[in-house]
């Protein structure tokens, strides 16, 4: 079951990606709707991170193409923000929290232009949004995992993009940080921004995402989350690897997904 979005902000057609001649993504056809928080879920090795990296031009496709806003990435790069996995970052790099967030302004600056006072003020405002302004002068190496993720999010906000690609932003964060992040992402979606998130917790997904993709090297299902989250489609995606399937199926049968807490 693959539903196509009307007026999609991202279009992926006939995409195949491989590492060392071994396919990682196979014949991917997807469209993502604007103004939604979108979850991409699947087992380890399903190609989720590879999909985001290919959208960002970090991994070359074997075939197919991707359009963002109906254009190539190079034409719209300033409108796209990428938040990689926290583990892929060198947190020992000598930079302050504010320095890292100001880096999000570089896409708005001309070549060789230094950040202006207004850029630093914008960075501080973004730190305030994620509750990290008091730690603006602290070295990033001194932060906890949840604090690091908040700084990453602030840097993405500082870019003032329209499309955000986030690779597992909830991994290694505390419950308060996770709630803050999802509330902020949902607020951004209400403003017309589009956020695509790689996620692994199936039980929280129906409350977090308007639109979901189930991926296992190929697209198993895509569409509104309530249509995608069925026991049959989850079983097809995860197979015997998913120990929580029985719990998911039970909740679905009872229609007992917990309601989203008010912001």
> Could you state, in order of their start, the residue ranges of all structural domains in the chain?
1-69+192-258
Tens place of pLDDT per residue across the chain (263 aa): 677 777 789 999 999 999 888 889 999 999 999 999 999 999 988 999 999 999 999 999 999 999 999 999 999 988 999 988 766 666 667 788 998 898 888 776 665 677 788 888 999 999 999 999 999 999 888 888 888 888 888 999 998 899 999 999 888 888 888 998 999 999 999 999 999 999 988 889 999 999 999 999 999 999 999 999 988 899 899 885 554 455 555 555 555 544 444 33
Q: Is 231 helix (H, G, I), strand (E, B) or coil?
A: helix
Query: For residue 165, what are the β-bridge partners?
Result: 82, 196
pLDDT at position 228: 93
Query: Residue 124 in contact with residue 117, Cβ under 8 Å?
Result: no
3-state secondary structure 68-127: ECCECHHHHHHHEEEECCHHHCCCCCCCEHHHHHHHHHHHHCCCCCCCCHHHHHHHHHHH
Residue 10 phi/psi, 5-degree rounding, is: -130, 130
Query: For residue 71, what are the β-bridge partners?
Result: 68
Each residue's pLDDT tens digit, 167-211 = 998 888 888 889 989 999 999 999 999 999 999 888 899 999 999
User: Which residue in 45, 44, 5 sits closest to 25, CA to CA?
Assistant: 45
| Inter-CA distances, 234 with 38, 115, 152, Å | 17, 47, 31
The pair of structure tokens assigned to 13 is 């057609």
pLDDT at position 261: 40
- pTM of the predicted model as reported, rounded to 2 decimal places: 0.85
- CA-CA distance, 156 to 3, in Å (whole number)? 29
Say if domain 1-69+192-258 classifies as CATH 3.40.50.300: yes
The pair of structure tokens assigned to 77 is 């790069």
Each residue's pLDDT tens digit, 72-82 = 999 998 899 99
pLDDT at position 263: 37
Contacts of 103 (CB under 8 A, 6+ apart): 155
């Amino acid at each position: 079951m693959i539903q196509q979005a009307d007026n999609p902000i991202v279009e992926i057609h006939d995409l195949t990606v491989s590492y060392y001649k071994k396919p990682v993504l196979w014949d991917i056809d997807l469209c993502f709707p604007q103004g939604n928080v979108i979850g991409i879920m699947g087992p380890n090795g399903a190609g989720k991170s590879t999909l985001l990296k290919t959208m960002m031009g970090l991994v070359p496709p074997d075939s197919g193409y991707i359009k963002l806003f109906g254009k190539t990435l190079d034409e719209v790069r300033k409108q796209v923000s990428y938040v990689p996995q926290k583990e892929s970052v060198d947190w020992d790099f000598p930079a302050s929290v504010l320095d890292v967030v100001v880096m999000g302004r570089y896409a708005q600056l001309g070549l060789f232009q230094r950040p202006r006072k207004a850029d630093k003020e914008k960075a501080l405002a973004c730190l305030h949004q994620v509750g990290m302004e008091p730690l603006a002068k602290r070295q990033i190496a001194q932060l906890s995992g949840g604090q690091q993720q908040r700084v990453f999010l602030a840097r993405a906000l500082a870019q003032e993009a329209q499309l955000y690609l986030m690779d597992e932003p909830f991994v290694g964060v505390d419950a308060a940080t996770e709630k803050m992040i999802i509330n902020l992402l949902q607020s951004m979606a209400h403003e017309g921004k589009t956020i695509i998130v790689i996620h692994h917790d199936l039980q929280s997904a129906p409350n977090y995402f308007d639109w979901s993709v189930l991926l296992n090297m190929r697209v198993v299902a895509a569409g509104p989350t309530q249509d995608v989250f069925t026991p049959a489609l989850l079983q097809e995606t995860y197979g015997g690897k998913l120990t929580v399937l029985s719990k998911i199926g039970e909740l679905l049968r009872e229609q007992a997904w917990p309601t989203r807490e008010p912001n």
